[in-house]
Amino acid sequence: MQNNIPSSPTGSQNETSYNPQIIENKASETTEMWSFLVLGGTFLIMAIALLFVYALQHDFSELRMERMNNPWGITFMVVSAALLLFKGGMFIYSLYLYIRYKAIPSVPDDELPTCTVIVPAYNEGKQVYDTLVSLAGSDYPEGKLQLLAIDDGSKDDTWQWMQEAKKALGDKVSIFQQPQNKGKRHALYRGFNLGTGEIFVTVDSDSVVDADTLRNLVSPFITNPNCGAVAGNIRVLNNKQALLPKMLDVSFVLSFEFVRSAESQLNSVLCTPGALAAYRRKAVFACLPQWINQSFMGRPSDIGEDRAMTNMILKQGYHVLFQSNAYAYTNVPEKYKGLYKMFIRWGRSNVRENIAMAKYVFTNFRKDSKVGTRLLFFSQSLEIILSYPFLLIMLGFVIMHPVLFISSTLVSILIYSSFSVLFYAKKYKLSESFWAYSYSILYTFALFWITPYAIATASRSGWLTRDLPNKQIA
């Protein structure tokens, strides 16, 4: 695919002054060196933590006795035990559902539905070209596939790269330009209204797909007439470029291939990702006016369009499924600032959509079983509701017993994250799986504030990660 991509929209690069392969190799060597240091440091830190926990057993016993002699301490221990029991039960239940999960194989060409793929783009640059070439190369009957690309008023050269894609792909792609930046939701809205397919597929402009991704993604709509939406399987595209993408790749595998597999068994995947998702046309148009005009606390919603669409389709009584055999590879932030901005956006969306879900999840919104959907809602809501109490408890623990807190937390991470390590290692590479430990340490000590902050600022709008010139990929 790379051989077909022009070096720039306006001309070729000067090869005597710029060699991207040399730069890429040097960057890879630097990344590998830092990878070794970070992973080595991770295991050293956790080994020291184990030694501290062993050496401080007496202090832990005294702290436990102190809590047992305090009414508030007893209450905390009882509540903690109840929550641990619930989360442990949910994990075992999810493991059972995951074991039962099987992706639906692709249906034959003559059974595949007509499909409109919509690619919204804003300040994406050259990557949008790669995305469109990737989609145009899909193993999908040509007469059944419509590919639409919509530039949402980009301030960079995104529109030029779309024009290059049009020249290269011809009638395989149609390109459109919004007169001004109105947000991803409005770009998708235009695509929905232009599209002619029975199934809509949305793909982020920083993603590429496998040749069989589209046919695998839409097949559940044929085998299950009550399927309203399907989530694709997201992996990290730039996981060789920096340390954070390496960590996120392991996290994504657990989030999609374990969590969404379990949710799919309950016909209730809570979020179809913007990077790759499919929707039944009928289900989309049944909620499209509400979706495009959605607001929160009097302000128009310009984030969380994927979670909102999923929520509205679930509310209609449709099943929402996951296809582990439909892969998309997407770019993620390579720096801390881009990462926390992405998580803030996701956190705000979760707060908003859990409130929206609370309004229907305990009604008779679906003919078949609703228990699983309600369990998933309760589990996610519990994490949001308890974020402030646990933050206060954590800060109190840090102030009163800093060494005990750090050592016990690190040992807990070692135990908790080992499942992620084993899960990833079984499906992919053992050497890459250890990033689960590093990611958990990073999240616990550097991103713990995300959910409380997202709750406090849930009414704020803004994509946060697409502005120029300090562009962060998300």
In a domain, 360, yes or no: yes
Number of domains in the chain: 1
Average pLDDT of the chain, as a whole number? 90
pLDDT band, very low/low/confident/very high, at 106 (cuts 50, 70, 90): very high
Per-residue model confidence as pLDDT tens digits over 178-195 = 999 999 999 999 999 999
Assign 3-state DSSP to the chain and report helix, strand, coil percentages, each to 5: 60, 10, 30
Per-residue model confidence as pLDDT tens digits over 43-64 = 999 999 999 888 888 877 877 7
pLDDT band, very low/low/confident/very high, at 18 (cuts 50, 70, 90): very low
Q: Residue 327 and residue 211: Cα distance in Å, rounded?
A: 9
Can you give the pLDDT at residue 16? 37
- Looking only at the bridges linking them, the beta strands covering 174-177 and 199-203 are unpaired
Can you give the pLDDT at residue 102? 97
Can you give the pLDDT at residue 228? 98
**pLDDT at residue 471 is higher than 90:** no
Q: Residue 404 and residue 56: Cα distance in Å, rounded?
A: 8
In a domain, 91, yes or no: no
Can you give the pLDDT at residue 2? 40
In a domain, 17, yes or no: no
Are 112 and 215 a contacting pair, CB within 8 Å?
A: yes
Can you give the pLDDT at residue 192? 98
In a domain, 151, yes or no: yes
In a domain, 288, yes or no: yes
Which residues 6+ apart lie within 8 Å of 288 measured at CB? 189, 192
Q: For tokens 């892969």, what's the residue?
A: 327
Can you give the pLDDT at residue 69? 76
257: nearest Cα among 237, 235, 277 = 235
pLDDT band, very low/low/confident/very high, at 11 (cuts 50, 70, 90): very low
Can you give the pLDDT at residue 464? 60
Are 295 and 243 a contacting pair, CB within 8 Å?
A: no
Q: Residue 45 and residue 326: Cα distance in Å, rounded?
A: 38
Can you give the pLDDT at residue 5? 42
In a domain, 278, yes or no: yes
Can you give the pLDDT at residue 79? 79
Across residues 199-214, what is the average pLDDT?
97
Cα angle 424, 426, 432; round to 5: 45
pTM check: above 0.85: yes
Report which of residues 349 and 25 the model is more confident about: 349
Cα angle 430, 248, 227; round to 5: 100
Are 69 and 238 a contacting pair, CB within 8 Å?
A: no
Q: Which sign does the torsion angle of CA 90, 245, 307, 385 carry?
A: positive
Cα atoms found within 13 Å of the Cα of residue 230, Cβ hemisphere only: 30
pLDDT band, very low/low/confident/very high, at 25 (cuts 50, 70, 90): low
pLDDT band, very low/low/confident/very high, at 473 (cuts 50, 70, 90): very low
CATH at 458: 3.90.550.10
pLDDT band, very low/low/confident/very high, at 466 (cuts 50, 70, 90): low
Can you give the pLDDT at residue 77? 76
Pick the range with the lowest mean pLDDT from 1-5, 135-139, 386-390.
1-5
In a domain, 38, yes or no: yes
Across residues 28-40, what is the average pLDDT?
85
In a domain, 415, yes or no: yes
**What is the DSSP secondary-structure string of 141-193?**
-GGGEEEEEEE-S-SSSHHHHHHHHHHHHGGG-EEEE-SS---HHHHHHHHHH
The string over 172-198, giving b where at least 16 C-beta atoms fall within 10 Å of a residue's C-beta and e elsewhere, is bbebbbbeebebbbbbbbbbbeebebb
- Looking only at the bridges linking them, the beta strands covering 299-300 and 295-296 are antiparallel
Can you give the pLDDT at residue 27? 58
Q: Which sign does the torsion angle of CA 197, 200, 206, 210 carry?
A: negative
pLDDT band, very low/low/confident/very high, at 129 (cuts 50, 70, 90): very high
**pLDDT at residue 243 is higher than 70:** yes
pLDDT band, very low/low/confident/very high, at 440 (cuts 50, 70, 90): very high
Are 332 and 362 a contacting pair, CB within 8 Å?
A: no
pLDDT band, very low/low/confident/very high, at 13 (cuts 50, 70, 90): very low
**pLDDT at residue 8 is higher than 60:** no
How far is residue 427 from each of residues 104, 254, 258, 263, measured CA to CA in Å? 18, 11, 11, 19
Pick the range with the lowest mean pLDDT from 263-272, 317-326, 404-413.
404-413
Pick the range with the lowest mean pLDDT from 29-33, 112-116, 373-377.
29-33
Other Cβ atoms less than 10 A from the Cβ of 358: the count is: 11
Can you give the pLDDT at residue 468? 57
Q: Residue 407 and residue 49: Cα distance in Å, rounded?
A: 5
Is-cis flag, bond preceding 469, omega within 30?
yes
In which domain, by residue range, is 274 found? Answer: 24-55+101-474
Structure tokens of 178?
């919004």
pLDDT band, very low/low/confident/very high, at 33 (cuts 50, 70, 90): confident
Which residues 6+ apart lie within 8 Å of 147 measured at CB? 116, 117, 119, 132, 135, 136, 169, 172, 173, 174
pLDDT band, very low/low/confident/very high, at 109 (cuts 50, 70, 90): very high
* H or E element at residue 474: none
Across residues 266-278, what is the average pLDDT?
97
Pick the range with the lowest mean pLDDT from 55-64, 366-375, 390-399, 400-409.
55-64
Q: Residue 117 and residue 132: Cα distance in Å, rounded?
A: 10
Strongest mean pLDDT among 56-70, 275-289, 392-406: 275-289
Per-residue model confidence as pLDDT tens digits over 150-162 = 999 999 999 999 9
Q: Residue 334 and residue 40: Cα distance in Å, rounded?
A: 20
